[in-house]
Structure 1
Amino acid sequence: MRGSGSTRPRTAPRGIAFSGLALSMLLAAAPCFGQDPPPDTMAEADTLFRFPVGGVVTAGPVIAAGRAWLLSDSRTLYVLTVDGVAIGKRVLPDRRAPFIACDGYGRAVVSEGSAGIALVNKAGQEVWRADLGAAPASAPAFASDGRVFVAAGTSLLTFAPNGTRLWLDALPAAPSAPIVIGPGGGPAIGLADGSVCLYPPDGGVSATLALGSAPVALAASSDRLAAALSDGRVVVYRPLGVESGADELPDAARLGSRPIGLAYCSDGFYALGANGTLLAIDADGRERWRIDVPIGSGQALLEAFEDRVVVLTKAAVRSYGADGEIYRTLRLSNAVSMPAMAPSGAVFAGGADWILYAYRFERPLSAADAPSISPLDYEAISAVAREESYWSIAPYDDSIVMERLDYIENSIGSSTISGESRNSSLYLAAVALGMMEAPFGSGPAAAGPSPRGPLPRIAACGLLGRMGLPQAVPILVDVFERDPEPAVQAAAAQAVAKIGLDPEGRALGAFARATERRLDSRTAAAVIDAIDGLYRASGALDERAGILALVRIFGGDYPRDLRSRAEKALLRVSKAR
């Protein structure tokens, strides 16, 4: 069997021809391409790479952040770049996994046993694991800042990117649809009682939408939530807030069968039915067009990009334009896993011959941005500090601040910070930065950070690290570079290590700049541990500034034990792939 691909008749064929008896025999066992249009549009499939995986693919491939993740029945989890370079692998206890869910930092959550999950870094190393108390209902969803939302039994649990459990809530019914990130950046989940619960990212009271039929799939934009229901309807809502609920936009479109997929892009929403109906809906819920798509047995995936919607089955991959016109068709044979498509336009599929194949299929495409969570900006931090000065007689006093920090620490420890995590983060940032203000009329403010004592600022840094949210990293970098107390600087570095993420490389850059001069031993040790912790959590050397900082400490005028500590960290991070 030869591999082939097809495009719209008016589009010139793309690809390169393959020849040779050996290659023909190899492709006979591989997932191969076929065509629908007339023979004069046929082009040989362009195979990007082949990667042996030691068994048939049982989970994945899943594509995210430039990486492909998959599990083979050899119990091996593989991590590749989308160019086919192996960067990590891990042996799992089971041959199959119900899901592989990827975050935006090149890491993934996989199931662990019957009721657990584990976060794995780019190198395949475990970062943390959690016992959910019940089997996960579906794959977790990741917020824009890496928070993990997962439903287990009738509970919704939320973990920070470093594994800290932030909050949980009891669901009124069993889940009926996988969790997605809804408008506002929090989780939205469909329930078997015919409702959808839409939560703020920090938890608290959810907005509940009664739909009259169990949701099968959800999709969201920054200001819209769409639900594909088991009775075949597809409804679009504009959430108005917890108290106001939501506006249901125009009459629901109908698929005519049970939905099996729902996706969003800037053109609106797309829904796929089990009968092969592909339905396009605008952002206000009005039907734009519908076409019939061959999906064989009814198992299919739906993905939406700018100007393209793609339907994937084990037998074929088809891309359509925003007007419903077919662009490209590829037919697969001997594929044992559902294929996946990368934004680069490549299609990945696991073959019966224990090989992962990557094929050129579409031009590079872009997906719509997911709803995001607001950062911890200085304006919001200042507002919280001012508010404290309105009702507290001494918001800058060390003892009063420590009482508030104790309350926040207890809330984090008991996972009851739901609904308060943003305000708590802003307060912690204000304390760590020394921005607490004296009440009006209390006299001139003293120079330097407020609170004056280093202990509250150290404690605030520690709690920001324990909460594990990467929005705090820029704040901690500023504390590290600006606070006059070395103990506070060290606490800020240690907090970055606890968070385990440095999305923009700001922390590693700050550590490299700091080591241009000699640091006190405590701060230098904290810098070593922070760099080591960041690399352990990431599993890759994406930012080399941390290496420079370690080299400077290792070769600097520091005690022998500190230089030895830097050397060991250098050896560890140098082995990361």
Structure 2
Amino acid sequence: MKSGDLFVYRASGTILLSFVLILPLHPASAVEEASMPSAQASWRKALGARIVGPPAAQAQSVVAVCDDGSLRAFGISGTELWRYDSAGKALPHLARSREGTSYLGLADGSLIAVNRSGRELWRRALGGPLVQGALFGFDGRIFAFAATELRCFTPAGFLLWRRTLAAPPSCLAIPDAAGGVLVALRNRCLIRFDAFGGSSSVALEAPVLTIAELSSGLAAVALPNGEIRAFPSIKDGATEAGFTLARLQGEISALGALDGKLAYLLSDGVAGLLDLAALSAGSMGAGSMGTELWTGAAPVPSSANSALLSLDERGVYVLDDKGAAGFAWDGRRLWYLGIKGASTLPAFSDDGLLFSGGNDWILYAYRVEERIRTGVASLYGRAPLRSYGLSEPYPGEEIEDPYRFEESAVDSFLAAVEERLRSGEISGDEKDFSSRLRAIASATIDSGPSAQATHPAVLPFARVRAVELLARFASREHIPFLCLLFEQEEETLVRAAAASAIGTIGVDPEGTAMAAFARAVFPPRAVRDERLLVSLTSSVGALCRFSGPPLSDEGIRLLVALAASERPSRVRSRAVTELESLMQ
């Protein structure tokens, strides 16, 4: 910090500016500093309640959860978008998926999904109250931690699996590079869960303060003695199998990683950056150490788990309830904003705004950067860089046993999958089940005029059941397959089931399904079958309710066309019902 840094004090809803003189914390490591942002809020909104957890900023909007159980959404210019009342005591744990769905927890152990228009989609009972915000997999699946349990849900609220933890988490769990989660427990155990419920663990000799996942797949943990230790692999039964990345002088409050760089924040407000490029290249092992690129004063004194580090292509950002700071990748401190009277950690948006909730029941927005993240979509969050491979390019799946497509074998398999879904324990069989369900559902579609059947024909009823079960996996990775089935299948019942399945999954961030539906509604490929149009109409309504705008804007256009007088009466009636539900 330097003389002249601006602090923001909050008292009775009034902002007071004060200049303070503080000596640099680490003169030897001081870096060049850019000009400070204005401490005057760009806008503020009185909420009538106190914000209890960090706001969630995404796609030109911000959502905050308040102590009256409400969830409030605002645009980046301060316009109130909607308000949702949970009718319960809200916990300070809020997260938003790529589609803009907000997930919040209640003290009674409920997990609630609220779409980007403020409509409650579903609520599920957990094994106890949430202990942190939900985490998300590549396909939007939700990882929810209660005190000693981890549950995995689909975006539509179906339970895929649950795992009991031997002890509560010792710090915030994080998504890992493979689409699973990494968590450290209070019993000094580090566990990696994959997306399908599989796990591996390593026993540590000291408790973990905070963790980070490196792009190379390394798990980095901060220990109480100031050591950052790395684990290239986590194997069951292993004990302390890692190596030291750095030994720092002080307690580590937070870690963050991006592109071979590891950022850290110490409890005295010193931030730093380590270069791990050599480790990513394969020179890992005893004696491997990261190269320190720079250190600088945040300055935001913090204890473990009371601050966050956020890294993107613009730089390294320190977020604490006492203030926030931004550093360029070369170590220059770009800005610092000190905050007094904050009720929780702030949130930094892709648009360069810092959102902070005050004990004065006001949400503040500060313009701290003019730079906007590259490649930011204005309507949805960032797309995942990888997938789980749940829906390989169709057709041409390998069929190991053609007899499993005999009628009795198909019925037995479908019954087994349905029972596993009912019990909420699909876990490691999800890929195999998905592949076999796709093969059953698409039993009559050929890849071309010369294609030959690879298995016996499957009855339409069984194919419909396969599509319905596939929908309950609710992975967005199945959307392209279902769209193909909807557009190319000859059997109307199966086409209608594919349309309904898309609505059950509920997400269509790329607009693939809505485009397929539009081709079926408007010439030259408009369909006339009443059953198919009714299923399509219901699916469009479901997508609109789940995703909200902008997907719902296109969906409403389709529903209006389906409600036209020339449509069959059942189709018109369904379209009107769906339109009315969207207006509620």
User: TM-score, structure 1 length as denominator?
Assistant: 0.84
For 1:144, give the aligned amino acid: F
Secondary structure, counterpart of 2:44 in structure 1? strand
For 2:438, give the aligned amino acid: A
Matches within 5 A, 1:262-341: 262-283=255-276, 284=279, 286-288=290-292, 289-296=294-301, 298=303, 299-341=306-348
Matches within 5 A, 1:122-133: 122-133=116-127
Q: Is structure 2 residue 175 aligned with structure 1 residue 190?
A: no
1:447-494 per-residue CA deviation (whole Å, 9 max, x = no partner) reads 799634212221111011111111111111111101101100110111
Bigger shift: 71-80 or 164-173? 71-80
| Residue 364 (structure 1) aligns with | 372
1:84-138 per-residue CA deviation (whole Å, 9 max, x = no partner) reads 3322211133565231122111011111233221111112221111111222232
In 2: Cα distance, 1:71 partner to 1:513 partner = 40
1:307: Cα distance to partner? Answer: 4.5
Matches within 5 A, 1:37-48: 44-45=38-39, 47-48=41-42
Secondary structure, counterpart of 1:185 in structure 2? coil
Any unmatched runs of 5+ in structure 1? 7-23, 438-443
Match of 1:417 among 423, 426, 430: 426
User: TM-score, structure 2 length as denominator?
Assistant: 0.83
In 1: Cα distance, 2:133 partner to 2:568 partner = 48
| Residue 118 (structure 1) aligns with | 112
| Residue 563 (structure 1) aligns with | 572
| Residue 399 (structure 1) aligns with | 408
Asked whether the 8 Å contact 2:159–2:425 carries over to 1, the reply is: no
| Residue 30 (structure 2) aligns with | none
| Residue 159 (structure 2) aligns with | 165
Asked whether the 8 Å contact 1:480–1:493 carries over to 2, the reply is: yes
Asked whether the 8 Å contact 1:207–1:245 carries over to 2, the reply is: no
- Provide closer, same or farther for how the CA distance between residues 318 and 555 of structure 1 changes in structure 2, counting only shifts above 3 A: same
Matches within 5 A, 1:150-229: 150-204=144-198, 206-222=199-215, 223-229=217-223
In 1: Cα distance, 2:203 partner to 2:17 partner = 45
Secondary structure, counterpart of 1:239 in structure 2? coil
1:435: Cα distance to partner? Answer: 7.0
Bigger shift: 470-479 or 347-356? 347-356
Matches within 5 A, 1:540-559: 540-542=549-551, 544-555=553-564, 557-559=566-568
| Residue 454 (structure 1) aligns with | 460
| Residue 10 (structure 1) aligns with | none
- Provide closer, same or farther for how the CA distance between residues 408 and 354 of structure 1 changes in structure 2, counting only shifts above 3 A: same
Match of 1:520 among 529, 540, 549: 529
Percentage identity across aligned positions?
Answer: 27
1:332: Cα distance to partner? Answer: 2.7
In 2: Cα distance, 1:56 partner to 1:153 partner = 25
| Residue 390 (structure 2) aligns with | 376
Q: Is structure 2 residue 30 aligned with structure 1 residue 30?
A: no
Match of 1:342 among 349, 360, 363: 349
In 2: Cα distance, 1:238 partner to 1:377 partner = 29
| Residue 237 (structure 1) aligns with | 231
In 1: Cα distance, 2:58 partner to 2:16 partner = 22
In 1: Cα distance, 2:475 partner to 2:19 partner = 47
Match of 1:88 among 73, 76, 82: 82
- Provide closer, same or farther for how the CA distance between residues 168 and 352 of structure 1 changes in structure 2, counting only shifts above 3 A: closer
For 1:30, give the aligned amino acid: I
In 2: Cα distance, 1:74 partner to 1:427 partner = 47
For 1:275, give the aligned amino acid: D
Secondary structure, counterpart of 1:90 in structure 2? strand
Kindly tell me the number of residue pairs found equivalent between the two proteins: 544
Asked whether the 8 Å contact 1:201–1:373 carries over to 2, the reply is: no
For 2:461, give the aligned amino acid: L
1:498-519 per-residue CA deviation (whole Å, 9 max, x = no partner) reads 1111121111111111112243
For 1:471, give the aligned amino acid: E
Asked whether the 8 Å contact 1:5–1:329 carries over to 2, the reply is: yes
Asked whether the 8 Å contact 2:35–2:335 carries over to 1, the reply is: no
Bigger shift: 530-539 or 545-554? 545-554
Match of 1:255 among 248, 255, 269: 248
1:75: Cα distance to partner? Answer: 3.5
Match of 1:79 among 70, 73, 81: 73
Greater relative contact order, per chain length (Cα 8 Å cut-off, separation 6+): 2
Any unmatched runs of 5+ in structure 2? 24-32, 280-288, 377-381
Secondary structure, counterpart of 1:419 in structure 2? helix
CA RMSD of aligned residues (A): 3.5
Asked whether the 8 Å contact 1:470–1:501 carries over to 2, the reply is: yes
Bigger shift: 131-140 or 162-171? 131-140
In 2: Cα distance, 1:404 partner to 1:568 partner = 36
For 1:348, give the aligned amino acid: F
